[in-house]
């Protein structure tokens, strides 16, 4: 085989490497999908919800009772989406601030922000234009947000905004208070994150 490769590709003996074992193990990830043996597969993973949100659908009430910590990917991201959607719909919400890193073309979060801006809420979005593979989508969302009346900040020159944050200003009990979601960028980069929702 070595001699064949050398002849076919014009390689010297020092340019052909022999490896004791499989090469490119990533290809093995496709094997379970090609075998029809459900008895050999793990059941699909179901993300959980924190206890505070299992019986409570009003995010602001749940957060008022206690801070909520979500650990992704083990817990559902739905509470974050619900929080932003409810903030967009809530007549007591005055303002929403949001950082946008990788939005994608069909972002439910940015759809909610656009809706909030159209309803007259003060919406500010920090949109990162250097989001790998999502630059085009982010530029499109930024234009849509501006068209809806939102304030759009295009990142900070020399820095990359990777942290995920949402700040909501809401009238409650005769005064304005803030509720926030924050996720550190370093853990999000590893596809795992602890997200804290607090008042």
Per the CB < 8 A criterion, the answer to whether 181 and 165 are in contact is yes
**Residue 81 neighbours by CB under 8 Å, 6+ apart:** 108, 109, 112
* Number of residues that this document lists for the chain: 199
Q: Give CA–CA dist 196/98, Å, rounded.
A: 15
Task: Let me know the angle formed at the C-alpha of 40 by 35 and 46, rounded to the nearest 5 degrees.
Answer: 105
Residue in 71, 72, 151, 162 annotated catalytic: 162
Q: Is 98 a catalytic residue?
A: no
Q: Give CA–CA dist 97/81, Å, rounded.
A: 14
**Residue 183 neighbours by CB under 8 Å, 6+ apart:** 163, 164, 165, 193, 194, 195, 196
Tell me the CA end-to-end span of the chain in Å, nearest whole number. 66
Phi and psi torsions of 168, nearest 5°: -120, 130
Which of the residues are catalytic? 162
């Amino acid at each position: 085989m070595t001699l064949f490769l050398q002849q076919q590709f014009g390689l010297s003996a020092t340019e052909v490497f022999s490896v004791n074992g499989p090469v490119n193990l990533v290809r093995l990830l496709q094997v379970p999908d090609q075998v029809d043996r459900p008895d050999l597969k793990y059941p699909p993973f179901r993300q959980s919800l924190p206890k505070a949100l299992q019986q409570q659908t009003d995010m602001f009430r749940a957060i008022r009772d206690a801070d909520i910590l979500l650990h992704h990917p083990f817990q559902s991201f739905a509470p974050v989406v619900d929080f932003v959607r409810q903030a967009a719909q809530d007549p007591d919400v005055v303002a929403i601030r949001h950082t946008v890193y990788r939005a994608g073309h069909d972002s439910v979060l940015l759809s909610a922000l656009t809706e909030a801006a159209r309803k007259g809420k003060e919406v500010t979005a920090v949109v990162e234009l250097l989001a790998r593979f999502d630059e085009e989508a982010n530029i499109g969302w930024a234009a849509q947000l501006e068209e809806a009346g939102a304030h759009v900040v295009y990142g900070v020159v020399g820095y990359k905004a990777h942290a995920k944050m949402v700040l909501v200003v809401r009238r409650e009990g005769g005064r304005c208070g803030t509720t926030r979601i924050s996720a550190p960028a370093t853990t999000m980069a590893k596809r795992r994150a602890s997200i804290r929702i607090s008042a």
